[in-house]
Amino acid sequence: MNEISPNISQTRPRIRQLDDAAINRIAAGEVVERPASAVKELVENALDAGARRIEVTYADGGKTLIRVSDDGCGMSADDLPLALSRHATSKIDGTDLLNIRSFGFRGEALPSLGAVGRLTIRSRADGAEGAEISVCGGKPGAVAPAALNAGTVVTLRDLFHATPARLKFMRSDRAEAQAITDTVKRLAMAEPFVCFTLRDTSGGGEGRVTFRAEAETGDMFEALSGRLARILGRDFADNALAIDAAREGLHMTGFAALPTYSRGAAVAQFLFVNGRPVRDRMLHGALRAAYQDLLSRDRHPAAALFIDCDPVLVDVNVHPAKSEVRFRDPGLARGLIVSGLRHALAEAGHRASSTVAGATLGAMRPEPSAPRIYQMDRPSPAARAAAWQARAPGFAEMQEGYSARVEAEREAGTPETDALPPQSLPLGAARAQLHENYIVAQTKDGMVIVDQHAAHERLVYEKLKRQMDETGVTAQALLIPEIVELTEADAARLLETAEDLATLGLTIEPFGPGALAVRETPAILGPCDAGALLRDILDEMSDQGESLTLRSRIDAVLSRMACHGSVRSGRRMGADEMNALLREMESTPHSGQCNHGRPTYVELKLSDIERLFGRT
């Protein structure tokens, strides 16, 4: 224990000034973590220059070559040496670091890249001659004339050749290439009116285009929808809801997928603040909270959300990579995401994702049959009518014993069509019940299959939640208050939210330094460990800035009550009951999925059904 660390000099250490090369390599360690980081910095510079077309070329996962070409405003020959100087930038003047309206502003990217790789910049401003400059190992060369169109071409070769130790931490070429692709796609989402091209030239030659997104047209929502369809797939665009919400200076737009279009991991969650892609734990937690009673724990929502606000309301000068932001009022941003998404999901009503029907059709495999019979080879209508008449007695006997057919009773003289429920409604009219669990309904252009238990479970759950919101949560007074020992800081933090907790039936009071007395707990939870509940609430508040633990526990109890109080599988339902269930689904929010995130119904279009039987 008394040994002197070998990293500490035995003599008095002297303070010395690091040279510029060492300073740039240290800065590069923060700014340029991997090839994808270099691509991000260069593409953001191109966007700040007003580029409308950007092409990114890389080789060997970006380790040997990264080239970013744009048609932006360009730089003059006099600007090139200054662009390679540390803390030289055209984005800000340094007077107000809170009013930042560009991607870059630190002036660290280009000198950092030049310190760890072989960097060449060719640029031509409008009305000026083209020029280029090269830097290797932090040592810039002279400015030379160059021939090119307006814009800028930045070429980075042999990344980290000046710091070979960093190469040991690089992943495989495929993994680094995937990281570059993800980075370009995120930036392409933020700029739907800009054309992006990504090219892999590993092995030499022209290479191959691995990603291309042409500039979108139309208004903002149309352009964003088209760009997301190109990047995330048409299924996402078809099953996503347009989001447009505002609150106290914050404006949120974007698209969020229906709960039935969920993912097994949080890989389809994209958040942007003033157009900047960010990875913020608080914002991702708010996204998860918005779907908290619509998805099971092992499923994750898919969304691309854009928060725009006055730059003074958010601090982007938190980390050199600029992937973290800090809001002046984090609770306001979190509340905007939660309330905006919940409102949009509630307005979606009974809608379920179209991928559910696609999976159903994919599960249907027609039996092998003889060669296809074309329409001209089929029997004539007269021949088919004669065949039906010949078989009529047999079918008549089958109809008498077929109890699953739904026929509403009608009075004598009433036309048959008047007794049928309307098929023009979204979920149609009930026609049959199969296996005493699945309702088959006929719509105007197809059919709907409803899981009666799952659907009724969601209806009962939503009704219980509405009743609780109207009457409040009943609190159960404890005969002997439970004393919970905490730190003084944790106790003070919980007391700040005491009023909110009381509305959910949990009443706490101070009980000396660092201690709380729990006097009431939610009656619906029954006997519970108040100490463990408070600590769970504290953990969630520390992680996300707000706690939904108590509300989620109450919702979980309501969900179990709904499950036990809903129509059970195996119960035979009449026509009126089934149609009443369909009508209630149409008027109830979130009825497209059960309490566990599974779909409550599948809709099949008549054209898809006919395709299964080769009738197209």
Tens-place pLDDT, residues 6-26: 555 567 777 777 776 666 666
What is the arithmetic mean of pLDDT over 489-501? 85
Q: Look up tokens 């680094």; give the residue.
A: 176
What is the arithmetic mean of pLDDT over 482-495? 87
- The mean pLDDT value of the chain amounts to 80
pLDDT for residue 365 is more than 80: no
pLDDT-derived band at 382, boundaries 50, 70, 90: low
Residue 569 CA to residue 553 CA, distance in Å, equals: 26
Residue 20 belongs to what H/E stretch?
A: helix 20-31
More confident site: 406 or 149: 149
Of the listed ranges 33-42, 93-102, 335-344, 409-418, the one predicted with least confidence = 409-418
CB 352 within 8 A of CB 359: no
pLDDT-derived band at 502, boundaries 50, 70, 90: confident
Residue 584 CA to residue 606 CA, distance in Å, equals: 24
| Phi, psi (degrees; rounded to nearest 5) at 233 | 105, 150
The residue type at 226 = G
pTM of the entire structure? 0.73
More confident site: 104 or 85: 85
Residue 164 CA to residue 173 CA, distance in Å, equals: 16
pLDDT for residue 419 is more than 90: no
Taken in order of first residue, the domains within the chain and their CATH numbers are 20-212 (3.30.565.10), 220-348 (3.30.230.10), 349-364+420-616 (3.30.1370.100)
Other Cβ atoms less than 10 A from the Cβ of 71: the count is: 18
pLDDT for residue 29 is more than 70: no
For 531-555, the three-class secondary structure string (H helix, E strand, C coil) is HHHHHHHHHHHHHHCCCCHHHHHHH
Residue 108 CA to residue 491 CA, distance in Å, equals: 43
Task: For residue range 101-156, list pLDDT tens digits in order.
Answer: 677 666 677 888 888 888 999 999 888 888 999 988 778 888 898 888 889 999 99
Residues in the chain: 616
Residue 176 belongs to what H/E stretch?
A: helix 173-190
In DSSP terms, 67 is beta-bridged to 57, 155
pLDDT (0 to 100) of residue 246:
92
Residue 447 CA to residue 350 CA, distance in Å, equals: 15
Residue 210 CA to residue 62 CA, distance in Å, equals: 14
In DSSP terms, 254 is beta-bridged to 243, 305
pLDDT (0 to 100) of residue 209:
94
What's the distance, Cα to Cα, between the start and end of the chain in Å? 83
More confident site: 167 or 230: 230
pLDDT (0 to 100) of residue 4:
56
C-alpha distances in Å from residue 96, one per residue of 87, 116, 317, 349:
15, 31, 12, 46
pLDDT-derived band at 78, boundaries 50, 70, 90: confident
C-alpha distances in Å from residue 66, one per residue of 48, 75, 134, 194:
19, 20, 14, 20
pLDDT (0 to 100) of residue 5:
57
pLDDT for residue 465 is more than 90: no
Task: For residue range 530-587, list pLDDT tens digits in order.
Answer: 888 888 888 777 766 666 677 777 777 777 777 766 676 778 888 888 989 999 888 8
pLDDT for residue 390 is more than 80: no
Q: CA triplet 333, 336, 342: central angle to 5 degrees?
A: 145
Residue 400 CA to residue 396 CA, distance in Å, equals: 7
Residue 577 CA to residue 207 CA, distance in Å, equals: 63
CB 132 within 8 A of CB 119: no
Q: What is the largest CA-CA distance in the chain?
A: 112
pLDDT (0 to 100) of residue 55:
95
What is the arithmetic mean of pLDDT over 369-389? 50
Task: For residue range 197-237, list pLDDT tens digits in order.
Answer: 999 999 888 889 999 999 999 898 999 999 999 999 988 98
Of the listed ranges 53-57, 369-373, 392-396, 480-484, the one predicted with least confidence = 392-396
pLDDT (0 to 100) of residue 279:
84
Residue 507 CA to residue 481 CA, distance in Å, equals: 10
pLDDT for residue 320 is more than 70: no
pLDDT (0 to 100) of residue 312:
86
Residue 107 CA to residue 90 CA, distance in Å, equals: 8
More confident site: 429 or 524: 429
Which are the contacts of 76, defined by CB distance < 8 A and separation ≥ 6?
123, 125, 128, 131
pLDDT-derived band at 400, boundaries 50, 70, 90: very low
Other Cβ atoms less than 10 A from the Cβ of 518: the count is: 21
What is the arithmetic mean of pLDDT over 385-397? 47
pLDDT (0 to 100) of residue 398:
39
Torsion of CA 219, 221, 223, 224, to 10 degrees: 150
pLDDT for residue 368 is more than 80: no
pLDDT (0 to 100) of residue 395:
42
pLDDT (0 to 100) of residue 612:
76
Of the listed ranges 168-172, 391-395, 448-452, the one predicted with least confidence = 391-395
Residue 534 CA to residue 602 CA, distance in Å, equals: 41
pLDDT (0 to 100) of residue 3:
58
pLDDT (0 to 100) of residue 397:
42
pLDDT (0 to 100) of residue 556:
72
